[in-house]
């Protein structure tokens, strides 16, 4: 099957060639009109963009086959991630591709601002020689306040230290333990604002960071301080910044990003004092463009060709190392959910997953279980991205926990499903990192390889049951590969799992149900029999 990948922003030839060599069909339409994009949406499987394309809720709803959106870069504020999540569409970015370029641009902006390079150039071009009016500042011994201590922020710090700057940092998710205090002191945002000579911003744009720096914050800054934003437009209130510069509340600003791009021609920033503006050049290096283009294309190929999720933003875990570690548990959880969906005879009301031991990432594991249960019950795309949303829409209570209680297995995934009239329970484990086993069904211990065709039989605990079922299946030329038996309800009832070499049709199943000693029988199909 050929997957169709739409690309609506400029992408490197190397990235496009990589997609095509991997067997994916590329629809390359950079910088085209919206109507032309709309014509493609109904048949695309993947969509790659940069910052120029905005993907709306309507786009996602129209793209019925869309499975994944790849952002060639870091920022995803041009994607309606909430709508993508609700529709089960994976959103991924390339978080490292622009890191060095953005960090270097930050330093370039800071140096240019400090030494009045932009003003010197303009005055010289205009025929002036104003050396005495353009005296700048050294970076040495100045306090640099870094807001956002992620990858780009840390690369900025690394370079600023080479200028003998004193570094303070703020990040709500980072503590002093992450840094040598002699190099970086982690402080509150208020303290950073009041003490810094330069402030550089490296945070995403969201409800918490929008207008993070407004006139109130700028009034707390030193009159000699300067602010740099190479992150996202909207973090600084542009009207307030214009006022602060023109009224000498702060001494300078350098911006590479804006709330509206391209920058409005009537923006007050264009005529503000002591300002340096660049047209979103933070990622505009040949190296970065090549890196993010090839990076996102490789991730798209991994998704469609190898079922791997790299740098996905709307699933509970996307770190490749964690994903690799959890993969056997995902496979186990997939099978547990699949079995439970086939055993459920009435509407599911509640799904509870408890993880033990090495099955440490309970959230992602439980979502795989839930996804598998729902996929077997409803005609709708369900995956790790939207499983909990779909469950909530159907009033299914969903919970997951990690229990550090010691169990007799190195790992254990226990799932309890409550329906309108029954409670189903299955537990599984992973042996030797990749051997999947069901170790408990409805309260009795077993050792079941969850594969192929199986009969789950509840019967009266009396002599001759196994023989009668075996004889009946033999009459239909159905070979039994394995018969597992356990007792429940004070030995009055037994639970049997019969592994078969082939599936049975409805007539055979009905014949089994007609045996006096059989209380219930359901066929469960896994792997190649699905």
Q: Among positive and negative, which fits the CA dihedral 101, 106, 109, 112? A: negative
Q: Whose CA is closest to 255, among 272, 246, 265? A: 272
Contacts of 489 (CB under 8 A, 6+ apart): none
Per the annotation, the verdict on 105 as an active-site residue is: no
Per the annotation, the verdict on 261 as an active-site residue is: yes
Per the annotation, the verdict on 121 as an active-site residue is: no
**Tokens 């049709």, located at residue:** 505
Q: H-type helices in 130-212, by residue range?
A: 151-161, 189-195
Question: Which among 280, 290, 302, 381 is annotated as catalytic?
Answer: 280
β-pair type (493-500, 480-488) = antiparallel
Contacts of 215 (CB under 8 A, 6+ apart): 237, 240, 243, 244, 249
β-pair type (453-460, 480-488) = unpaired
Q: Cα–Cα distance between 187 and 481 in angstroms, integer?
A: 65
Question: Which among 17, 42, 216, 261 is annotated as catalytic?
Answer: 261
Classify residue 37 as left (phi > 0), alpha (psi -120 to 50) or beta: alpha
How crowded is residue 420: how many other Cβ atoms within 10 Å of its Cβ?
Answer: 10
Distance from the first to the final alpha carbon of the chain: 19
Contacts by residues 120-125 (CB-CB < 8 Å, ≥ 24 positions apart): none
Question: Which among 71, 105, 232, 400 is annotated as catalytic?
Answer: 232
Going from the C-alpha of 169 to that of each of 153, 187, 202, 453, the distances in angstroms are 9, 6, 11, 59
Q: Cα–Cα distance between 73 and 373 in angstroms, integer?
A: 35
Residue pair 117/111 in contact (Cβ under 8 Å)? The answer is: yes
**Tokens 């799932």, located at residue:** 415
The residues that are catalytic are 232, 261, 280
């Amino acid at each position: 099957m050929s997957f169709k990948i739409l690309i609506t922003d400029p992408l490197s030839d190397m990235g496009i060639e990589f997609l095509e060599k991997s067997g994916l069909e590329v629809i390359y339409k950079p910088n085209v009109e919206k109507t032309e994009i709309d014509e493609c949406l109904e048949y695309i499987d993947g969509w790659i963009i940069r910052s120029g394309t905005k993907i709306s809720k309507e786009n996602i709803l129209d793209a019925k086959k869309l499975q994944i959106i790849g952002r060639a870069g870091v920022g995803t504020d041009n994607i309606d991630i909430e709508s993508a999540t609700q529709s089960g569409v994976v959103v991924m970015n390339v978080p490292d591709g622009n890191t060095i370029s953005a960090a270097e641009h930050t330093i370039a902006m800071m140096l240019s601002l400090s030494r009045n390079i932009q003003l010197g150039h303009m005055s010289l071009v205009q025929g002036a020689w104003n050396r005495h009016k353009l005296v700048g500042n050294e970076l040495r011994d100045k306090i640099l306040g870094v807001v956002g201590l992620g990858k780009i922020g840390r690369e900025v710090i690394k370079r600023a230290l080479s200028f003998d700057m004193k570094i303070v940092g703020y990040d709500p998710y980072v503590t002093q333990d992450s840094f040598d205090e002699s190099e970086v002191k982690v402080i509150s945002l208020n303290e950073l604002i009041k003490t810094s000579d330069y402030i550089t911003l490296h945070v995403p744009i969201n409800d918490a960071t929008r207008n993070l720096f407004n006139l109130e914050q700028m009034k707390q800054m030193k009159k000699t301080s300067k602010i740099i934003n190479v992150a996202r437009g909207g973090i600084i209130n542009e009207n307030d910044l214009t006022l602060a510069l023109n009224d000498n509340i702060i001494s300078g600003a350098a911006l590479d990003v804006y709330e509206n791009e391209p920058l409005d021609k009537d923006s007050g920033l264009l005529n503000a004092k002591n300002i340096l503006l660049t047209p979103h050049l933070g990622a505009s290096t040949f190296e970065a463009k090549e890196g993010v283009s090839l990076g996102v294309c490789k991730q798209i190929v991994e998704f469609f060709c190898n079922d791997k999720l790299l740098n996905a933003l709307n699933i509970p875990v996307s770190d490749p190392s964690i994903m690799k570690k959890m993969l056997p548990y995902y496979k186990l959880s997939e099978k547990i959910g699949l079995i439970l969906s086939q055993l459920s005879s009435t509407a599911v009301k509640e799904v509870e997953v408890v993880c033990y031991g090495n099955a440490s990432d309970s959230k992602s594991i439980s979502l795989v279980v839930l996804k598998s249960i729902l996929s077997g019950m409803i005609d709708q795309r369900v995956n790790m991205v939207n499983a909990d949303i779909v469950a909530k829409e159907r009033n299914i209570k969903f919970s997951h926990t990690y229990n550090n209680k010691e169990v007799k297995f190195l790992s254990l995934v226990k799932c309890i499903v409550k329906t309108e009239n029954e409670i189903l329970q299955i537990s599984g484990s992973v042996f030797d990192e990749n051997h999947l086993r069901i170790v408990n069904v409805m309260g009795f211990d077993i050792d079941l390889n969850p594969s192929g065709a199986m009969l789950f039989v509840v019967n009266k605990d009396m002599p001759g049951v196994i023989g009668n079922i075996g004889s009946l299946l033999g009459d239909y030329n159905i070979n039994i590969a394995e018969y597992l038996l356990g007792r429940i309800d004070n030995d009055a009832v037994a639970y049997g799992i019969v592994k078969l070499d082939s599936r049975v049709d409805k007539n055979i199943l009905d014949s089994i149900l007609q045996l006096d000693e059989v209380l219930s029988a359901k066929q469960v199909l896994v792997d190649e029999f699905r």
